[in-house]
């Protein structure tokens, strides 16, 4: 059943993948009750996969719950036989960190990411390629969590280490590791920009982002269901970097990214709406900077506001307040460019209300600014 679920994910059939993974977990849970020693490892593995399937379907809360149970199961197994279950624990921890980040639960995500890196470092001591891939993914994930918490220098260090591992692996087996390398190039382009003193993308950051766009386009041509979403996300990143660099091509990249994600979100709102909202905001920012297509910007911002107004179960409202504030700011600016100043004034008042709400959050509340 898990093989069937994997094939569904690879084909972009996320709902069918969830159904199959849920059945697999139910079967293994029943078997584990009758013979724990024989079937608990399979249950833990199935729970990890179920969390990934829930995430792909946009079911954030269930993804976290499945991943947390998987980690708890693996911790118990690891206590009995560390050598046999360290790999499972590491993979489950990686999933929990990823799903916690999706939900805006950054403190929990950071703890899980740190434990996962430690686990994969132990595994990678044997130089096995699969374990080194796992370590690189864990390092990349930890970098992303630190980036979200504005610890840019630490994030860059871990991203550099992950990239070095994947470059070495991809040099030896490009077909096996090229896709993973592309993910690292995506994150590296962002971190290279954030590490620049004036916040402007360097030529190196733009080249890195361009390389990632080209590679994702190639992968999406081979497997559209699996790689079109990350291709559009990379286009979105590239559009933002080009805008910061005042370089040509930003409008075209933003247009293509938003076209793809509008279609993906229409086909599967639960899986793609939140990412679509973020891409709509980049589209708005890029076009406002160029003072182009302002009526379309207004439509895009209203779409994003509608999405953020109905967050999925398990998503942290505090985490998304900054996006609501950005959306309102872009809407006010678009209205001003259209000479609709009275309406813009009302929207600026909403911006102030959201800013006050964010200021009243506890110090450890998740934030993206």
**What pLDDT does 122 receive?**
87
Q: Two tokens at 256?
A: 């293509």
Cα–Cα distance for residue pair 121/142, rounded to 1 Å: 13
User: What pLDDT does 364 receive?
Assistant: 47
> Average pLDDT, whole number, for the chain?
82
Nearest to 62 by CA among 30, 28, 15, 29: 15
- Compute the distance between CA of residue 278 and CA of residue 258 in angstroms, rounded to an integer: 10
**Among 308, 317, 298, CA closest to 103:** 317
Round to whole Å and give the CA distance between 73 and 70. Answer: 5
Contact indicator for 106, 145 with CB cutoff of 8 Å: yes
Cα-flanking dihedrals φ and ψ of residue 210, to 5°? Answer: -60, -40
Task: Provide the whole-model pTM.
Answer: 0.64
d(CA 335, CA 94): 43
| Both tokens assigned to 301 | 């911002």
195-247 pLDDT per residue, tens: 455 567 777 778 878 888 888 898 889 888 888 988 998 899 889 889 988 88
- Max mean pLDDT range (50-59, 210-219, 277-286, 307-316): 277-286
Helical pair 224-244 and 269-290, crossing angle rounded to 10 deg: 20
Q: Express each pLDDT in 1-43 by its tens digit.
A: 555 555 555 555 667 888 899 999 999 999 999 999 999 999 9
Q: What local confidence, expressed as pLDDT, does residue 5 receive?
A: 53
**E strand spans, 86-200:** none
Nearest to 280, CA basis, from 263, 268, 292, 297? 297
Distance CA 64, CA 59 (A): 9
On whether the CB atoms of residues 233 and 213 are closer than 8 A, the answer is: no
Q: How much of the chain exceeds pLDDT 90, in percent?
A: 33
User: What CA–CA distance (Å, rounded) separates 47 from 299?
Assistant: 40
* Contact residues for 103 (Cβ-Cβ < 8 A; gap 6+): 60, 61, 63, 64, 314, 315, 316, 319
Residue 79 has a pLDDT of 86
Per-residue pLDDT, 277: 93
Q: What is the dihedral of CA 283, 107, 141, 143, to 10 degrees?
A: 80
Higher local confidence (pLDDT), 342 or 308: 342
């Amino acid at each position: 059943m898990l093989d069937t679920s994997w094939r569904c994910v690879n084909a972009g059939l996320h709902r069918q993948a969830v159904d199959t993974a849920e059945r697999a977990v139910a079967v293994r849970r029943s078997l584990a009750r009758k013979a724990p020693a024989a079937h608990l490892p399979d249950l833990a593995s199935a729970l990890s996969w179920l969390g990934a399937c829930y995430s792909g379907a946009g079911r954030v809360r269930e993804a976290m719950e499945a991943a947390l149970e998987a980690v708890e199961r693996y911790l118990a197994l690891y206590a009995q036989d560390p050598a046999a279950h360290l790999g499972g624990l590491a993979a489950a921890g990686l999933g929990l960190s990823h799903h916690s980040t999706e939900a805006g639960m950054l403190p929990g995500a950071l703890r899980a990411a740190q434990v996962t890196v430690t686990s994969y470092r132990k595994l990678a001591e044997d130089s096995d390629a699969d374990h080194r891939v796992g370590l690189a993914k864990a390092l990349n994930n930890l970098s992303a969590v630190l980036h979200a918490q504005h610890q840019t220098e630490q994030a860059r260090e871990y991203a550099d280490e992950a990239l070095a591992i994947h470059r070495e692996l991809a040099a030896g087996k490009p077909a096996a590791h090229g896709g993973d390398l592309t993910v690292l190039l995506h994150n590296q382009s962002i971190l290279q920009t954030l590490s620049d003193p004036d916040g402007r993308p360097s030529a190196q950051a733009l080249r890195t982002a361009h390389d990632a766009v080209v590679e994702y386009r190639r992968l999406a041509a081979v497997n559209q269901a699996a790689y079109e979403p990350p291709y559009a996300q990379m286009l979105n990143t590239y559009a933002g970097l080009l805008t910061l660099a005042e370089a040509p091509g930003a409008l075209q990249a933003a247009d293509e990214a938003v076209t793809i994600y509008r279609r993906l979100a229409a086909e599967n709102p639960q899986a793609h709406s939140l990412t679509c909202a973020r891409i709509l905001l980049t589209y708005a920012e890029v076009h406002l900077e160029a003072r182009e297509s302002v009526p379309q910007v207004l439509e895009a911002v209203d779409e994003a506001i509608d999405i953020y107004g109905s967050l999925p179960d398990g998503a942290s409202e505090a985490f998304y307040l900054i996006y609501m504030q950005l959306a309102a700011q872009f809407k006010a600016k678009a209205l001003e460019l259209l000479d609709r100043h009275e309406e813009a004034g009302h929207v600026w008042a909403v911006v102030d209300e959201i800013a006050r709400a964010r200021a009243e959050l506890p110090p450890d509340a998740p934030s993206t600014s």
